[in-house]
Structure 1
Amino acid sequence: MGESGSGKTLTSRTVLRLLPKGARAEGEVEVGGENVLALDARQLRTLRTGRVAMIFQDPRAAINPLRRVGDFLTESVRLAGTTTAEDAARRAAELLAAVGLDDSVLRRYPGQLSGGMLQRVMIAAALMGDPVLLLADEPTAALDVTSQAEVIALIGELKERFATALLFVTHDLGLAAAISDRVYVMYAGRIVETGPAETLFAGPRHPYTLALLAATPQLTAPGTRLAAIDGQPPDLRQELTGCPFAPRCRFATEVCTTEAPQPRAASGAPGHLAACHHSDRLAESAADA
């Protein structure tokens, strides 16, 4: 999770090597023990049509408006040659039923469906190849509040039903808390904090995470002014020195502007790491509060 421009979408797209022109990925991106960055074209096609699938932000931009929904759903498995046309159609109907749609949708065009229905179609399409990993890139961003709740509940249910790992990208802390087992907080293209969802939200150890939580609207305090994070995210076209959040951080000291903090374990919280020179001060502030 993180605000717009923090690198969430680009990071998730790297798993499928769907990078914009001129971008490159370094290091390793492993799925099931295989380094995605080292796959050849044939292996990458196999990965994209079966093992890993992605749900995009805007379903209308991801579906060809001139083709029927049934053609869209079955295309990937038919091209991969892993099943017959009849079996593909049967699988598509089963998955539409799983996401709460009847098989009449197979004969309809995208323009005949609502945004919530289209996102359900996108989820069904992502599950067609029985993936081991599902990438969900802010799948509720283009939906109304009611549809958002329905889609989030559906994704959580299908994740358990099909035993699929889920990488969920969001800027909504409420969604992250509701659906995640583990949370990674990103800022300026870097992971600044990570930990089990319950532990991280109960005791954040990075000022950015703390500021995001403070900026969340509270239904228990109507009429109060929302907290804001002063300043702007850094320009990632420039080389960053020190902690990228330092210019906006109330805890920042001189060391924050000169030395990039390395992830450190939070005391008393196994698996909870924060890249902050002053994470202990945050723990003390939370304890005093």
Structure 2
Amino acid sequence: MNTLDIQALRLRLPHTARPVLDGVDLTVGVRETVALVGESGSGKTLTSRSVLRLLPPGARTEGSVRVVGDDVLTMSPGTLRVLRTSTAAMIFQDPRAAINPMRRVGDFLTESMRLNARMARQAAAERAVVMLEAVGLGGDVLRKYPGQLSGGMLQRVMIAAALMGDPALILADEPTTALDVTTQAEVVSLLGELRERFGTGLLFVTHDLGLAAAISDRVYVMYAGRIVETGPAAALFADPRHPYTAALLNSTPRLDAPQGRLAAIEGRPPGLREELTGCPFAARCVHATEVCDRQAPALLPVAGEPARGASCHHSEQLAGKAGHA
């Protein structure tokens, strides 16, 4: 059984012409790290928040989101509370926005366990010390306020908080965005170590392809609320089969890149007030033909590589053309 299994997830918001998430299929196995990558506004964060049913007002959903076999979208409030306390946990993008600056770190770490899991105060404090030590911090941090800690230390506190309930699944929503490069590397390494140590599945949401390549076993590429390519990280980055994936790779700074201006993806992503009849990337794609404007491509297995999939009418023509989006 997968730790996370999302099937045909569609999410609509009021006053939009199309679904914000349109038929998303995604899985995370036990002890597996899966990266979800794409531009801002592609639907990455909403996909991860749907796992905890943290949805905007008026959101309407179809499909299923199963965590360890249980469908989150149909859970009762009480069962959902247990899920958020112990089965799945989220590491948010900005730790300073997620932690109350007026309360001590110890209160932040233990509150959920004391109120929702009915754990005694002393037992919760002891558990918090164990989790802080697991992320490389000392028990003295419990008595400090968030303002007394660096950004990297606060993100470690967020990771410790996610581990408090011994979750089967951790959702990391761009957890390194607000950190410097050195601290980013430390946090990514720490997440990998904790995944192995505690046996959790990890969904890592990011727009940084370098980080995705460094941490993930498999990758899903998202565009305009749809999964456009998926596969093992090494194969996907070495030989992308969707023009959007190739364009993202071309626009990533590299030390071995040729001289000149960094490549950019022309145009803009489609807005939520725009209906989509064909491929959502067609207007920005150098490979687009008439069929791309007329018919939306299905996510189909790549020939000879059943573990990979691409949603492109011309995916076979892109084989072996990495770096030429």
TM-score normalised by length of structure 2: 0.86
- 8 Å contact 2:246–2:323 — kept in the other structure? no
**Aligned residue identity for 2:188:** I
Q: CA deviation at 1:288?
A: 11
Distance 1:252 1:117, change over 3 A: same
3-state DSSP of counterpart to 1:86 = helix
3-state DSSP of counterpart to 1:224 = coil
Which whole-Å deviations, capped at 9, do the CAs of 1:198-218 have from their partners, x for residues lacking one? 111121110000101111111
Question: Which residue number corresponds to residue 246 of structure 2?
Answer: 210
Which whole-Å deviations, capped at 9, do the CAs of 1:42-96 have from their partners, x for residues lacking one? 0000000110000000000000111100010011111123422111111100111
Alignment pair present for 1:70 and 2:106: yes
**Aligned residue identity for 2:50:** T
Question: Which residue number corresponds to residue 84 of structure 1?
Answer: 120
- 8 Å contact 1:14–1:25 — kept in the other structure? no
Question: Which residue number corresponds to residue 158 of structure 1?
Answer: 194
3-state DSSP of counterpart to 2:62 = coil
- 8 Å contact 1:199–1:269 — kept in the other structure? no
Structure with a larger share of its residues in strand: 2
Deviates more, 1:99-108 or 1:73-82: 73-82
- 8 Å contact 2:249–2:323 — kept in the other structure? no
Matches within 5 A, 1:223-262: 223-262=259-298
Q: Separation in 2 of the partners of 1:218 and 1:139?
A: 22
Deviates more, 1:267-276 or 1:117-126: 267-276
Structure with a larger share of its residues in helix: 1
Question: Which residue number corresponds to residue 61 of structure 1?
Answer: 97
Question: Which residue number corresponds to residue 139 of structure 1?
Answer: 175
Q: Separation in 1 of the partners of 2:251 and 2:49?
A: 28
Where structure 1 has 5 or more consecutive residues not aligned to the other structure, the ranges are: none
Q: Separation in 1 of the partners of 2:171 and 2:287?
A: 34
- 8 Å contact 1:7–1:189 — kept in the other structure? yes
Q: Separation in 1 of the partners of 2:321 and 2:258?
A: 25
1:15 is aligned, of 51, 73, 94, to: 51
Question: Which residue number corresponds to residue 26 of structure 1?
Answer: 62
Q: CA deviation at 1:287?
A: 11
Q: Separation in 2 of the partners of 1:269 and 1:287?
A: 20
Distance 1:122 1:254, change over 3 A: same
Higher relative contact order (CA 8 A, sep 6+): 2
Alignment pair present for 1:169 and 2:208: no
Which whole-Å deviations, capped at 9, do the CAs of 1:9-39 have from their partners, x for residues lacking one? 0000000000111222211001111110000
1:263 is aligned, of 282, 293, 299, to: 299
3-state DSSP of counterpart to 2:167 = coil
Alpha carbon RMSD of aligned pairs, Å?
A: 1.6
Distance 1:288 1:99, change over 3 A: closer
3-state DSSP of counterpart to 2:172 = strand
**Aligned residue identity for 1:282:** L
Q: Separation in 1 of the partners of 2:212 and 2:188?
A: 10
Q: CA deviation at 1:219?
A: 0.8
Identity %, equivalent residues:
71
Which whole-Å deviations, capped at 9, do the CAs of 1:231-269 have from their partners, x for residues lacking one? 000112222110000000011000100101001111122
**Aligned residue identity for 1:51:** T
Alignment pair present for 1:125 and 2:161: yes
3-state DSSP of counterpart to 1:272 = strand
1:38 is aligned, of 74, 81, 103, to: 74
Where structure 2 has 5 or more consecutive residues not aligned to the other structure, the ranges are: 1-36
**Aligned residue identity for 2:275:** E
Deviates more, 1:78-87 or 1:157-166: 78-87
Q: Separation in 2 of the partners of 1:223 and 1:93?
A: 50
1:201 is aligned, of 237, 242, 267, to: 237
**Aligned residue identity for 1:71:** D
3-state DSSP of counterpart to 1:277 = coil
Q: Separation in 1 of the partners of 2:94 and 2:323?
A: 42
3-state DSSP of counterpart to 1:45 = helix
Question: Which residue number corresponds to residue 148 of structure 1?
Answer: 184
